[in-house]
Amino acid sequence: MHLYLHVPFCQRRCSYCDFSIAVRKTIPAAEYVAAIRAEVEHGRGAGPIFLTPARPFRGASPGISGEQWVDVPPTIYFGGGTPSLLPPDGVASLLTFLLDASARRLSLDACEVTLEANPEDVTRASADAWRRAGVNRISLGSQSFDDRVLRWMHRVHDAARIGESVKTLRAAGFDNISLDLIFALPQDLERDWGRDLDQALALEPEHLSLYGLTVEERTPLARWVSRGATQAPDDDRYADEYLLAHERLAARGYEFYEVSNAARAGRISRHNSAYWTGRPYLGLGPAAHSFDGRRRSWNKRAWEEYRRAVSAGESPIESEEVLTEEQRRIESVYLGLRTKAGLPVAVVPSDRRAAWAAAGWGEESDGRIRLTAPGWLLLDTLVRDLTGVPSIL
Ligand code: SF4
């Protein structure tokens, strides 16, 4: 099973971010740890077990059918928010508690344990403590190597701190580091995307996640755009920068295994890959989602509301849906096309396959069709065309 913990706290809100966060000067670490424990205790009443080394699952991806035993290492992912704001002993106590609660006592060595960290929180003491706790993968919220851009984003760190953090993490023994970068920023910022890519690659991360900027409602960025203080991201710029990233990363030995994620050999994110292959996962914490193969549920979004529910011994689940066969089929098309696994050719009508090949959007091999980088730029459109569903994403 794959386990996600949402740590909702941040020092401030970044200009583009609409995530479920709680801005706090002082992190209520003890309350958070107690709330997660209470959620697990509550869930145990309903009998879930998790963190078993291999479980049968009904694959959502086309080509995987029926109950199958798959040898997938369990994964634990501390996402946020800013998990690196939790004191490392809070991370350690949660990991110990979760392993004790698992169906079979596992060694953390058998798990991929990721912690999302912001560069300003990485110190030698915190990095050593995360390693001791069992964290073996760090996803670092870098976003840009341009100080002007980082200030515009309302990030706390500066560019120099990113390099220092990677050095510190390496010295503490981390050999699996991912860097996040945001591209397609407004033209008026004059951000040099090629330079940012080069600076990121110079740090030799094992993994990179690249996200195009979107303007989300009720963010500072949305307000700036609506009053004309900056421009909305531009489609041409998005395409140019996305394709440039593919070119630079391929030249340095990285493979895009999903539309926004690239890794060196053997360094894909196993946790995120579980989502993209339709495997079951359990989410803990405010706004966390869970999926058991058919049923998807999500927790109350606001930290205080979530905390009140679990402290009172109530379920924190806000709502749930059971996917129909048709929804599962559509989702599997979307998941297949967004990854390098692609889809079996039989799933895609021959006229579409021919059109995709002629346009350079798809390539066929081994009985599967996979989108190319230009095809991934049109992912939503191609999925809509294939499924006939106007909006599933
Ligand atoms: S640190 Fe991450 S989660 Fe927090 S406000 Fe910034 S982008 Fe959002």
pLDDT in tens, 378-387: 999 999 999 8
Query: 41-51: b or e for each residue (b if 16 or more CB lie within 10 Å)?
Result: ebbeeeeeebb
Please tell me the residue having the least CA distance from ligand 1 atom 8: 17
Please tell me the residue having the least CA distance from ligand 1 atom 6: 14
| Ligand 1 atom, smallest distance to 118 CA | 1
Phi (first) and psi of residue 282, to 5 degrees: -120, 130
Phi (first) and psi of residue 79, to 5 degrees: -120, 170
Distance of CA 13 from the midpoint of ligand 1 (Å): 6
Structure confidence at residue 110 (pLDDT): 80
Nearest-10 crossing angle of helices 193-202, 235-251: 30
What percent of the chain has a predicted confidence (pLDDT) above 70?
Answer: 90
**For ligand 1, which residues put their CB under 6 angstroms from it?**
10, 13-14, 17, 19, 21, 80-82, 118, 141
CA atoms lying within 13 Å on the CB side of residue 186:
17
Please tell me the residue having the least CA distance from ligand 1 atom 3: 81
Distance of CA 317 from the midpoint of ligand 1 (Å): 23
Please tell me the residue having the least CA distance from ligand 1 atom 2: 81
Give the 3-state secondary structure of 131-152. Answer: HHHCCCEEEEEEECCCHHHHHH
| Ligand 1 atom, smallest distance to 81 CA | 3
CA dihedral 52, 53, 58, 62 (to 10 degrees): 150
Structure confidence at residue 104 (pLDDT): 60
Structure confidence at residue 105 (pLDDT): 61
For the chain, count helices (H), then strands (E). Answer: 14, 19
Q: Are 140 and 180 in contact (CB under 8 A)?
A: yes
pLDDT in tens, 333-386: 999 999 999 999 999 999 999 999 999 999 999 999 999 999 999 999 999 999
| Ligand 1 atom, smallest distance to 16 CA | 7
- Spell out the residues 6+ positions from residue 369 whose beta carbon is closer than 8 angstroms to its own: 342, 343, 344, 345, 348, 353, 356, 362, 363
Nearest-10 crossing angle of helices 124-133, 88-101: 10
pLDDT in tens, 270-287: 999 999 988 899 999 999
